[in-house]
Amino acid sequence: MNVLILGANGFIGSHLSEMILAETNWHIYAMDLSSDKIENCLNHERFHFKQGDITVDKAWVTEQIKNCDVILPLVAIATPAVYVQDPLRIFELDFEANLDIIRQCVKYKKRIIFPSTSEVYGMCEDSHFDEEESNLVTGPIHKERWIYSTSKQLLDRVIFAYGKHHGLIYTLFRPFNWYGPKLDNIFNSKPGGSRVLTQFIGNILRGEDIMLVDGGEQQRCFMYIDDGIHALMKMIENKNDCAKNKIFNIGNPVENISIKTLAELLVKNIKQYPKYSEMASKTQLQTVPAEKYYGKGYQDVSLRVPSIQRAADELGWKPAVNLTDGLKKTLDFYLA
């Protein structure tokens, strides 16, 4: 099998590339702007990498879509601060660039595995979000935070329509707060410049207090990256068409904690690393209003819990790594 991974140097793309090379005989054709996270893959005989931009190197992308069996367009900006500060950048890359890829998959009759997002559910009030039944609820236009969610949601709808009316074979997967090694650069000091777990680790290592937006009472279900990649491998393999034209929540509903609790866990755990113990001991948790931290265009969600029954039934998948072990592996990567 030939697999095209656009955004291979990202968090998901880098881990997926490593697992494909380690566990299959598939060939990977890959593109990204840089290659620091996939250094271990670059010299592999089945890894064919081009450093480039999908919005510029369009001829290369088209040629690989023609030649590959499965297409994974993983290029996107997934940092909440950017949703508010530069919403048109989100629209242009996350929506427009990916729409072009989707249309080529239709044209050349290629199977696509597309990263939707848990954010499409928005402020849905269901206790567990269901892929087929839950309403997708977002806020008013001036809350620019939702441009990421609605861009992804519209692509979900476009893909579904192409599948129903034009024969596109697809799988949509919705990650719920995946974390682990290579998530973000912990030395990015810009507030909101990283996702929450790496933002907090960076705060501690830089000797900064942790800023809890609106007190950090929001709850999230955190899932270790290896569990997500195992689910993706099953989708790519697609044994007995188990993933054909289906949507899957991929998360760990058991590990549902508040952002404040996550911060407390990180402070506690980093104290166990002698080099950083003193820094962690000095870290204070501070409350900051969302408007001050992100800007007026931000709006938050108090609870986000996935139903993963479909992934269990159709893919034979369930998460296996608990939060304690996952955080240990993550901190060992960044700190040990």
- Partnered with residue 14 across adjacent β-strands are none
Nearest to 108 by CA among 166, 50, 58, 54: 166
Provide the pLDDT for residue 185: 87
- Partnered with residue 256 across adjacent β-strands are 221
Q: What is the mean pLDDT of residues 205-228?
A: 95
Q: Which whole-number Å values give the CA distances from 309 to 219, 249, 251, 302, 314, in the listed order?
A: 21, 9, 11, 22, 8
For residue 331, the SS3 value is helix
Query: Residue 61's pLDDT band (boundaries 50, 70, 90)?
Result: very high
Of the ranges 38-52, 61-75, 175-189, which one carries the lowest mean pLDDT score? 175-189
Q: What is the mean pLDDT of residues 220-245?
A: 98
Provide the pLDDT for residue 158: 98
Crossing angle for the helix pair 259-270 and 323-335, nearest 10 degrees? 50
Q: What tokens appear for 148 in the block? A: 């990421």
Say if residues 264 and 162 touch (Cβ distance below 8 Å). no
Whether residue 217 has pLDDT greater than 70: yes
Provide the pLDDT for residue 302: 87
The class (CATH top level) of 76-335 is alpha beta
Say if residues 80 and 149 touch (Cβ distance below 8 Å). no
Whether residue 36 has pLDDT greater than 90: yes
Provide the pLDDT for residue 192: 62
In single-letter form, the type of residue at position 15 comes to: H
Cβ neighbours of residue 57 closer than 8 Å, sequence gap 6 or more:
31, 50
Phi first, then psi, for residue 155 (nearest 5°) are -65, -40
Q: Rounded mean pLDDT of the chain?
A: 96
Provide the pLDDT for residue 79: 87
Helical H runs in 117-215? 146-166, 196-205
Phi first, then psi, for residue 115 (nearest 5°) are -80, 105
- Domain extents in the chain: 76-335
> Which burial class, exposed, middle or buried, applies to 47 when counting CB atoms under 10 A from its CB (0-12, 13-18, 19+)?
buried
Query: Residue 191's pLDDT band (boundaries 50, 70, 90)?
Result: low
Residue at token pair 């650069």? 185
Provide the pLDDT for residue 186: 86
pTM above 0.85, yes or no: yes
* Percentage of the chain modeled with pLDDT above 70: 99
User: pLDDT of 124-154, one tens digit each?
Assistant: 999 999 999 999 999 999 999 999 999 999 9
Provide the pLDDT for residue 194: 74
Say if residues 249 and 174 touch (Cβ distance below 8 Å). yes
In single-letter form, the type of residue at position 326 comes to: G
The secondary element (H helix, E strand) that includes residue 313 is: none
Q: What tokens appear for 95 in the block? A: 């929506």
User: pLDDT of 157-173, one tens digit each?
Assistant: 999 999 999 999 999 99
User: pLDDT of 267-287, one tens digit each?
Assistant: 999 999 999 999 999 999 999
Whether residue 14 has pLDDT greater than 80: yes
Provide the pLDDT for residue 98: 98
* Percentage of the chain modeled with pLDDT above 90: 91
**Cα 197 from Cα 13, distance rounded (Å):** 19
Q: What is the mean pLDDT of residues 45-67?
A: 98
DSSP label at 57? Answer: -
DSSP label at 287? Answer: E
